[in-house]
Structure 1
Amino acid sequence: MSGPRFEPVRAVRAYERVVEQVEEAIESGVLSPGERLPSERELMVQFSVSRSTVREALRVLQARGLVQSRPGDPNGAEVLPFTPAALHKSMTTLARVEELSLAELVQFRMVLDSAAILLAARLRTDEQLAEMAAAVARMRAALELGEDAFSAADVAFHEAVARAGGNKLIQICTDVVRSIVVRLIAEKLAGARDRDALMRQSIRHHEEVIAAIRLGDGPLAARLSRKAMYDYYAGYVPAAERGVLRALLD
Structure 2
Amino acid sequence: MKFEPVTTVRAYERVVEQIEHAVLTGRLAPGTRLPSERELMAQFEVSRSTVREALRVLQAAGVVRSRAGDPRGPEVLPPSPTTLRKSIRRLAQSAHIGLAELLQFRMLLESSAYRLAAHLRTEDQLAQMELALRRMRDHLDTDTTDDGAFSQADVEFHDAVAQATQNPLVVACGEVVRGVAMELIENKLAHADDRRDLREKIVAHHAEMLDAVREGASERAGTLACQALYDYYAEYIPESQRALLAPLL
Structure 2-normalised TM-score?
Answer: 0.85
After superposition, the Cα gap between the structure-2 partners of 1:69 and 1:131, relative to the gap in structure 1 and judged at 3 Å, is closer
After superposition, the Cα gap between the structure-2 partners of 1:127 and 1:21, relative to the gap in structure 1 and judged at 3 Å, is closer
- What residue in structure 2 maps to residue 52 of structure 1? 49
> What secondary structure, in the 3-state scheme, does the structure 2 residue paired with 1:144 have?
coil
- What residue in structure 1 maps to residue 125 of structure 2? 128
After superposition, the Cα gap between the structure-2 partners of 1:31 and 1:214, relative to the gap in structure 1 and judged at 3 Å, is closer
Q: Provide the rounded CA distance (Å) in 1 between the counterparts of 2:127 and 2:38.
A: 57
For residue 108 of structure 1, report the CA deviation from its aligned partner. Answer: 1.8
After superposition, the Cα gap between the structure-2 partners of 1:70 and 1:192, relative to the gap in structure 1 and judged at 3 Å, is closer
Matches within 5 A, 1:20-59: 20-33=17-30, 36-59=33-56
Matches within 5 A, 1:193-232: 193-232=193-232
Structure 1-normalised TM-score?
Answer: 0.85
One-letter amino acid of the counterpart of residue 134, structure 1:
L
For residue 151 of structure 1, report the CA deviation from its aligned partner. Answer: 1.1
For residue 36 of structure 1, report the CA deviation from its aligned partner. Answer: 4.5
- What residue in structure 2 maps to residue 112 of structure 1? 109
Whether contact under 8 Å (2:88, 2:176) holds in the other structure is no
After superposition, the Cα gap between the structure-2 partners of 1:155 and 1:30, relative to the gap in structure 1 and judged at 3 Å, is closer
One-letter amino acid of the counterpart of residue 139, structure 2:
A
Q: Identify the range of structure 1 (187-196 vs 44-53) with the bigger mean alpha-carbon deviation.
A: 44-53
For residue 221 of structure 1, report the CA deviation from its aligned partner. Answer: 0.8
Q: 1:142 aligns with which of 136, 139, 142?
A: 139
Gaps of 5+ in 1: none
Q: 2:15 aligns with which of 14, 18, 24?
A: 18
Q: Provide the rounded CA distance (Å) in 1 between the counterparts of 2:20 and 2:42.
A: 19
Q: Provide the rounded CA distance (Å) in 2 between the counterparts of 1:32 and 1:153.
A: 33
For residue 81 of structure 1, report the CA deviation from its aligned partner. Answer: 4.8
Q: Identify the range of structure 1 (214-223 vs 155-164) with the bigger mean alpha-carbon deviation.
A: 155-164
After superposition, the Cα gap between the structure-2 partners of 1:143 and 1:58, relative to the gap in structure 1 and judged at 3 Å, is same
- What residue in structure 2 maps to residue 234 of structure 1? 234
For residue 244 of structure 1, report the CA deviation from its aligned partner. Answer: 1.8
Q: Identify the range of structure 1 (5-14 vs 194-203) with the bigger mean alpha-carbon deviation.
A: 5-14
For residues 69-109 of structure 1, what are the alpha-carbon distances to aligned partners after superposition, in whole Å with 9 as ceiling and x for unaligned? 3323455434x1533xx2x1111111123333212221222
- Aligned residues: percent identity? 53
Q: Provide the rounded CA distance (Å) in 2 between the counterparts of 1:125 and 1:97.
A: 36
Gaps of 5+ in 2: none
Number of aligned residues:
242
